[in-house]
């Protein structure tokens, strides 16, 4: 039995199904028009129902950020899985178990010694791992430069291991998160593409295979002008979007599918704050949208119907308390009596969602279903 929205226990994670479906089909069509594969990253959604919507019309290939996600989605029927966090030999046994359970699991690495040791571990486990070499296209998080000697050293180390198969290259243009607007994002997207194409060309010229050329972040997938030379994109947060993506220019206010339902638990007239039962654990302490907006705090306030209340935001977040302030003057206490409910739009959907075991899925603001999430590692 699904309850009415105002009867749900709070904090709760609300997911608007219509917006989710629109976001998924827009990205799906964009990739189909570009003629490349969509391998959505499920680190944001961590739910099988979302994976089905996101892969609809595509091969069913997915990207994950944990082996727990890989297991969960494999059990849900998704077999073609890219584990897109640097692989280490200590995880080889778990990866081999996934293969035995039916996964076509591809791994990534950016170090020749790791390749050597992973090859040995694979031999002991009597298995073989397909590998993508991670390229740093400017984000500075992981990966080697496309023009570096390291790229060829890693390829050679992979090639020397009969238990590893060089399957291609991948990158994530994380620095697109600091762009402002489509033009800047398009530049980063082009840098992401060029780095990968350069790396793939160098590998092929050196005689190595490079069938997969895999790029992607939401901003670059949304605003890239060319996908030439790429075989697939791996956007993830586009399924929900958030205030940060809105600030970057990857989505509009109508594309925000996720919000946190909270209850008003107090009026602190001395400090001019409305208190809610959604604090740091329910919203996260991510303040990424500060780069783009004033008065955004730990999230913007909406009424129960999801309509933004101008100027209201979660100004501070204690473990279980959120304190709502108005951009100017006192917050509207009468509009939000103690016991009433409201919604908060998160800065960063991936991090906020991580606190919840499931989504309360809404259609036309009516709770429709609960979708399970796979948290943990």
11 upstream amide cis, omega within 30 of 0: yes
Closest CB 301 distance from ligand PLP, rounded Å:
25
**Closer to ligand PLP by Cβ: residue 63 or 163:** 63
Return the closest-CA partner of residue 143 out of 95, 210, 192: 192
Bridge partner list, 308: 302
- Count the Cβ atoms, other than its own, within 10 Å of residue 18: 12
| Cβ atoms 175, 140 nearer than 8 A | yes
Closest CB 142 distance from ligand PLP, rounded Å:
8
Closest CB 199 distance from ligand PLP, rounded Å:
15
**Closer to ligand PLP by Cβ: residue 112 or 235:** 235
Q: In this structure, what are the phi and psi dihedrals at residue 318, rounded to the nearest 5 degrees? A: -95, 180
Closest CB 338 distance from ligand PLP, rounded Å:
37
Closest CB 112 distance from ligand PLP, rounded Å:
20
SS3 73: helix
| Cβ atoms 351, 44 nearer than 8 A | no
Cα separations (Å) of 336 from 304, 315, 342? 10, 16, 8
**Closer to ligand PLP by Cβ: residue 112 or 216:** 216
Closest CB 118 distance from ligand PLP, rounded Å:
18
**Closer to ligand PLP by Cβ: residue 78 or 336:** 78
**Closer to ligand PLP by Cβ: residue 216 or 279:** 216
Closest CB 132 distance from ligand PLP, rounded Å:
10
Residues of the shown chain interacting with ligand PLP in the complex, contacts defined by CB under 6 A = 41, 63, 84, 172, 216-218, 234-238
Closest CB 125 distance from ligand PLP, rounded Å:
25
In sequence order, the 6+-apart residues with CB closer than 8 A to the CB of 227 are 34, 35, 36, 193, 233
Alpha-carbon dihedral sign for residues 165, 131, 36, 63: positive
| Cβ atoms 122, 161 nearer than 8 A | yes
**Closer to ligand PLP by Cβ: residue 28 or 263:** 28
CA angle 31, 104, 99 (to 5 degrees): 155
Bridge partner list, 104: 80
**Closer to ligand PLP by Cβ: residue 137 or 161:** 137
| Cβ atoms 323, 314 nearer than 8 A | yes
**Closer to ligand PLP by Cβ: residue 227 or 238:** 238
| Cβ atoms 284, 351 nearer than 8 A | yes
């Amino acid at each position: 039995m699904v309850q009415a929205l105002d009867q749900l226990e709070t904090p709760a994670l609300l997911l608007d199904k219509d917006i989710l479906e629109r976001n998924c089909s827009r990205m799906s069509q964009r990739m189909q028009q570009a003629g490349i594969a969509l391998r959505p990253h499920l680190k944001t959604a961590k739910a099988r129902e979302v994976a089905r919507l996101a892969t609809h019309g595509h091969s069913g290939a997915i990207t994950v950020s944990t082996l727990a996600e890989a297991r969960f989605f494999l059990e849900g029927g998704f077999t073609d899985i890219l584990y897109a966090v640097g692989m280490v030999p200590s995880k080889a046994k778990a990866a081999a178990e996934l293969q035995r359970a039916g996964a076509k699991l591809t791994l990534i690495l950016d170090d020749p010694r790791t390749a050597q040791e992973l090859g040995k571990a694979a031999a002991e486990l009597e298995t073989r791992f397909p590998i993508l070499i991670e390229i740093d296209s400017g984000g500075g998080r992981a990966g080697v430069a496309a023009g570096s000697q390291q790229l060829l050293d890693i390829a050679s180390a992979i090639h020397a291991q009969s238990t590893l198969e060089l399957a291609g290259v991948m990158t994530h243009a994380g620095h697109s998160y600091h762009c402002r607007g489509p033009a800047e994002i398009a530049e980063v997207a082009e840098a992401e593409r060029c780095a990968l194409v350069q790396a793939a060309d160098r590998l092929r010229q050196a005689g190595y295979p490079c069938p997969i050329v895999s790029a992607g972040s939401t901003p670059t997938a949304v605003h890239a002008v060319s996908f030439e030379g790429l075989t697939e994109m791996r956007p993830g947060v586009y399924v929900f979007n958030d205030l940060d993506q809105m600030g970057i220019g990857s989505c509009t206010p109508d594309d925000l599918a996720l919000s946190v339902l909270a209850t008003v638990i107090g009026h602190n007239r001395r400090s001019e704050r409305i208190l809610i039962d959604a604090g740091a654990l329910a919203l996260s302490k991510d303040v990424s949208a500060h780069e783009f907006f004033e008065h955004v705090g730990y999230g913007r306030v909406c009424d129960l119907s999801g309509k933004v209340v101008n100027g209201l935001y979660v100004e501070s977040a204690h473990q279980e308390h959120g304190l709502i302030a108005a951009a100017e003057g006192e917050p509207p206490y009468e509009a939000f009596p103690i016991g009433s409910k409201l919604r908060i739009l998160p800065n960063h959907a991936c991090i906020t969602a991580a606190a919840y075991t499931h989504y309360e899925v809404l259609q036309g603001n009516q709770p429709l279903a609960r979708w399970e999430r796979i948290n943990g590692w």
